[in-house]
Amino acid sequence: MKKISLTLIGLYLLFLHGFSQVTDQYSNIFKAKKLKLTEVNLVSSYYNQDGNHSAVTGGIGTEKLTDLANMLELKLVGYGETGLKHTILAGIGLDHHTAASQKYISKTGASSPDGTRVYPSVNWTVENEDKGTEFGVGTYLSNEYNYKSFSLDAHVGYKNKSGGEFGLKTSAYWDQVVLIYPSELIPTASTDVTPYNVDVIKTSASRSSGGTTSGGGGYTFHNESSIPTSPRNTYTSSFTYSQVINKSAQMAILLDLVKQDGWLGLPFHRVYFTDGTEKIENLPHSRFKIPLGFRFNYFSGDNLIVRSYYRYYTDDWGLTSHTASLELPYKITPFFSISPFYRYYTQTATKYFAPYMKHAPTDTYFTSNYTAAAFNSSFFGTGFRIAPPNGIGDTYLSTLEIRVGHYTQTTDLNSNVISFHFTWK
């Protein structure tokens, strides 16, 4: 899958080279017809959850968490004299969450930070509307106290005259996981570790005396520069095909091929064994995933749309899942609609999961993180959308959407979310 990464970089550099030539050739055109801000989107959401299977404490303990997320996106569109359409999407997101389980990373009860994540992104697409072709590149950054990520992507698309559209997107994510350990499990040079991470553990041991620690030897988080990191890489190829069947029906097929390698767990996730011993979770350093989805939309008259979706997922860790969802947007007035929705999900456990104190000491790979357990879940709620033809009030606000949802999982996890989407044009 590293070939995907090299191909992606090659496409990205080729695009930059080609665009610089176009810019030089048509510099007078772009000066005359600059990109224009056509749309501003702001999405804000609040999420809270509760449960009693925290991975930090080995599959038991509180999962209380709150998250406040905000995303601002600007859309700029411009046309050159040759007829090519240039679209730039520039966004920045800011999430802040508090998790009750974080304070148990150190058994001394030392305080840990609430998580704040910042993630800017830029995507540039060039489209030939006459031929129905497009090409684009994008980049993405994400930074939080224990995780840093950088990605590049490239995508191409083609629309035919019979209502079909084909898309291909390749992405590469290069992440760094900050190796924050439970206070009682901070490694030493003699610690038994997984083969692919020996050098990282030795680095951790050599630096442990220079890091800031809590009274019981657990790291506090204001001096994380002394804590080593480990890489996690993800390479994805996504294929989509959509087709207008008739004036009332549309369908789409979606296929992803995902390859991951590196540290695929988190070092502050504890695992307790049947003999009472304790370690951090240990998972294989590679994973291959295949999600396959199908979407079908039906327009029933002028007021009702039926949106349905199904996805099958499998990977080489033994997890398989099925997702089915249905959403029914109904237009109450020409400017106001309501959209009840329901999603059902079921999955099997991975080969490496076992609950608290159920792993055998002889297991090679082990986790008690319930995201890898077998469970069923339901997510249901309603959306509301207001979109008057002349905007809302005397402003450029054209659309306001509100969505509320409730999530339940058979592992006793439950959550609520409310989100607001504002669009200015």
pLDDT of residue 357: 97
**Exposure string for 93-128, b = 16+ CB within 10 A, e = fewer:** bebebebebbebbbeeebebeebebebebebbbbbe
Answer whether residue 353 shows pLDDT above 70.
yes
**How large a percentage of the chain has pLDDT more than 70?**
81
Q: Write the DSSP string, 90-115.
A: EEEEEEEEEEGGGGGSSTT----PPE
CA distance 223 to 145: 10
CA distance 41 to 73: 5
- The mean pLDDT of the chain is 85
Label residue 213 by pLDDT band (50, 70, 90). Answer: very low
User: 392 near 400, Cβ under 8 Å?
Assistant: yes
Measured CA to CA in angstroms, residue 237 lies from 6, 10, 124, 289, 317 at distances of: 13, 15, 18, 11, 19
pLDDT of residue 139: 98
Answer whether residue 381 shows pLDDT above 80.
yes
Label residue 69 by pLDDT band (50, 70, 90). Answer: very high
111 phi, psi to nearest 5 deg: -70, 145
pLDDT of residue 186: 83
User: 63 near 52, Cβ under 8 Å?
Assistant: yes
* pLDDT tens track for 237-275: 999 999 999 999 999 999 999 999 999 999 999 999 999
pLDDT of residue 103: 84
Label residue 89 by pLDDT band (50, 70, 90). Answer: very high
DSSP state letter for 224: G
pLDDT of residue 183: 85
253 phi, psi to nearest 5 deg: -120, 135
* Burial of 275 from C-beta contacts in 10 A (0-12 / 13-18 / 19+): exposed
**Per DSSP, what are the bridge partners of residue 325?**
309, 343
Answer whether residue 192 shows pLDDT above 70.
no
Nearest to residue 266, comparing CAs of 152, 372, 192, 349? 372
More confident residue, 4 or 338: 338
Answer whether residue 114 shows pLDDT above 80.
no
Answer whether residue 200 shows pLDDT above 80.
no
pLDDT of residue 412: 95
User: 305 near 297, Cβ under 8 Å?
Assistant: yes
pLDDT of residue 391: 87
Answer whether residue 115 shows pLDDT above 60.
yes
More confident residue, 383 or 181: 383
* pLDDT tens track for 356-365: 999 999 999 9
pTM: 0.83
Answer whether residue 190 shows pLDDT above 70.
no
* pLDDT tens track for 144-187: 988 999 999 999 999 999 999 999 999 999 999 999 888 888 87
User: 181 near 148, Cβ under 8 Å?
Assistant: no
Label residue 109 by pLDDT band (50, 70, 90). Answer: low
pLDDT of residue 12: 39
pLDDT of residue 288: 98
Label residue 390 by pLDDT band (50, 70, 90). Answer: confident
* pLDDT tens track for 315-336: 999 999 999 999 999 999 999 9
Q: Which domains does the chain have, with CATH numbers?
A: 2-424 (2.40.160)
Tallying the residues shown for the chain, one arrives at 425
Answer whether residue 405 shows pLDDT above 90.
yes
Evaluate the CA torsion angle 388, 394, 396, 399 in order and state its sign.
negative
Answer whether residue 128 shows pLDDT above 60.
yes
pLDDT of residue 2: 42
Alpha helices by DSSP H, listed for 26-172, are 27-32
Label residue 140 by pLDDT band (50, 70, 90). Answer: very high
* pLDDT tens track for 23-62: 444 444 444 378 899 999 999 999 999 999 999 999 999 9
CA distance 382 to 406: 10
More confident residue, 9 or 300: 300
Answer whether residue 399 shows pLDDT above 50.
yes
